[in-house]
């Protein structure tokens, strides 16, 4: 009947409205480090994996990233108790913001070793890649956090991987003058070469390495074809013919 309430639909709409009302204070609690508020808001029905949407001023702010969950925000700030509550409540460990960073990316980038360890112990993947093909280890090396570098290496981070610019964590640590992080990465590489480090056979890492290999082979083929074309142009010029 027209105009008649449908209890199920009304209840769903009400629940959605309530979740929307809880989202902002829930995300703010994670950013501020208020673990008690997080627990209270979860009991009230807050969506644990809700993502932050930008307001009008944030939308055009340089350096502000949308799409962060409460776990991502807590890890970014190093609020260990908030991270613990969210992990225990089964927050998505692999949720990504609009820059494709996970909570572990943020913890590593900001030097929050305790938060990074909690995430890894809870099962967070050690080698997630962002749009630049950079992992948490990459950013720990760039920023110069040897404690985080050591932790990630112990947890199976792929030290030999390169970003989309062809740079490894070691080369970036050296480039940014982070000698302690560079030394750890160099020692790890030397132990690996001499068989004293047996990295875990992570299927995801294997797939990533295979993709990198295939991309390198494709680039090699393209370069070889370009080389032949240039040689042909040079030969034509030397022969005094026109070069198309």
Query: Distance between the two ends of the chain, CA-based, in angstroms?
Result: 76
Which pLDDT band holds residue 94 (cuts at 50, 70, 90)? very high
**Domain 126-199: assigned CATH number:** 1.25.40.20
Which of these ranges, 31-35, 55-59, 104-108, 145-149, has the smallest mean pLDDT? 55-59
Question: 228 or 102: whose pLDDT is higher?
Answer: 102
Choose from 23-37, 51-65, 199-213 the range with maximum mean pLDDT: 23-37
- SS3 of residue 168 by DSSP: strand
Overall pTM surpassing 0.85 (yes/no): no
Q: What is the mean pLDDT of the chain?
A: 85
How far is 103 from 110, CA to CA, in rounded Å?
11
What is 15-53+66-92+114-120's CATH superfamily? Ankyrin repeat-containing domain (1.25.40.20)
Q: How far apart are CA 117 and CA 153, in angstroms?
A: 12
3-state secondary structure of 162: strand
7-21, 98-112, 164-178 — which is least confidently predicted?
7-21
Alpha-carbon radius of gyration of the chain? 24
Residue 149: per-residue pLDDT: 98
Distance of CA 151 to the CA centre of its chain: 16
In the chain, ranges of CATH 1.25.40.20 domains: 15-53+66-92+114-120, 126-199
More confident residue, 8 or 176: 176
């Amino acid at each position: 009947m027209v105009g008649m309430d449908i209890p199920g639909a009304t209840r769903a709409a009400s629940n959605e409205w309530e979740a929307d009302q809880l989202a902002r204070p829930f995300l703010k609690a994670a950013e501020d480090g208020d673990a008690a508020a997080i627990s209270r808001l979860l009991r009230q029905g807050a969506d644990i994996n809700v993502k932050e949407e930008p307001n009008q001023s944030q939308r055009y702010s340089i350096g502000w990233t949308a799409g962060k969950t409460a776990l991502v925000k807590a890890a970014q700030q190093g609020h260990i108790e908030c991270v613990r509550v969210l992990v225990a409540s089964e927050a998505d460990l692999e949720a990504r913001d609009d820059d494709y960073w996970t909570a572990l990316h943020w913890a590593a980038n900001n030097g929050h070793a305790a938060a990074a360890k909690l995430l890894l112990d809870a099962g967070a993947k050690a080698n997630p890649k962002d749009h630049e093909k950079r992992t948490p280890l990459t950013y720990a090396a760039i920023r110069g956090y040897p404690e985080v570098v050591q932790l990630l290496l112990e947890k199976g981070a792929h030290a030999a991987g390169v970003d989309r610019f062809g740079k490894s964590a070691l080369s970036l640590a050296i480039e940014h003058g982070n000698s302690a992080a560079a030394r750890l990465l160099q020692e790890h590489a030397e132990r690996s070469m001499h068989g004293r480090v047996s990295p875990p056979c992570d299927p995801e890492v294997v797939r990533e390495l295979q993709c990198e290999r295939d991309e390198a082979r494709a680039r090699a083929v393209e370069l070889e074809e370009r080389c032949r074309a240039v040689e042909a142009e040079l030969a034509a010029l030397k022969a005094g013919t026109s070069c198309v």
